[in-house]
């Protein structure tokens, strides 16, 4: 999920300012220079959130924030211009995939071993002898 945040912030917003992103901001009412600034600002915010997600991988709030924000962002993009929902790599498919990744991350954070908190004892996978016929 952090990789998607990083890519979406760097490539279409900071490195190459995507014309479609600028057009969405213009449809909201911004001038072209202000729209380009908004695209770059949102890209920087996405890169920052990627870093927060990596650094705070053991915390739940970055994943909960992603799960809540992605449907709202998709709805905002659709409200600005419904045509964005029919293009390749559209906000609906990308944001719902990010929401699903965030929900999976939330569901698997508890008890997951990591480099900081390794699994100290192997889990007992042997069947109980009393349960055998």
Over the stretch 8-39, which tens digit does the pLDDT of each residue have?
A: 999 999 999 999 889 889 988 999 999 999 99
pLDDT at 85 over 70: yes
Q: What is the predicted pLDDT for the residue at 59?
A: 85
| 117 — pLDDT class (breaks 50, 70, 90) | low
In whole angstroms, give the CA distance from residue 101 to residue 61.
14
Q: For the whole model, what pTM was predicted?
A: 0.75
Residue 28 near residue 80, CB atoms below 8 Å: yes
**Closest by Cα among 66, 98, 64, 77 to 27:** 77
């Amino acid at each position: 999920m952090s990789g998607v945040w990083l890519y979406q912030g760097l490539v279409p917003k900071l490195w190459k300012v995507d014309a479609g992103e600028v057009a969405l901001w213009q449809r909201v009412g911004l001038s072209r220079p202000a729209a380009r600034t908004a695209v770059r600002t949102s890209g920087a915010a996405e890169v920052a959130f990627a870093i927060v997600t990596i650094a705070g991988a053991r915390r739940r709030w970055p994943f909960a924030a992603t799960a809540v924000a992605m449907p709202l962002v998709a709805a905002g993009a659709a409200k600005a211009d419904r045509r964005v929902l029919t293009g390749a790599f559209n906000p609906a498919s990308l944001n719902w995939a990010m929401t699903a990744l965030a929900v999976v991350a939330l569901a698997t954070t508890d008890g997951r071993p990591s480099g900081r908190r390794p699994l100290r004892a192997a889990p007992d996978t042997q069947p109980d002898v009393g349960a055998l016929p």
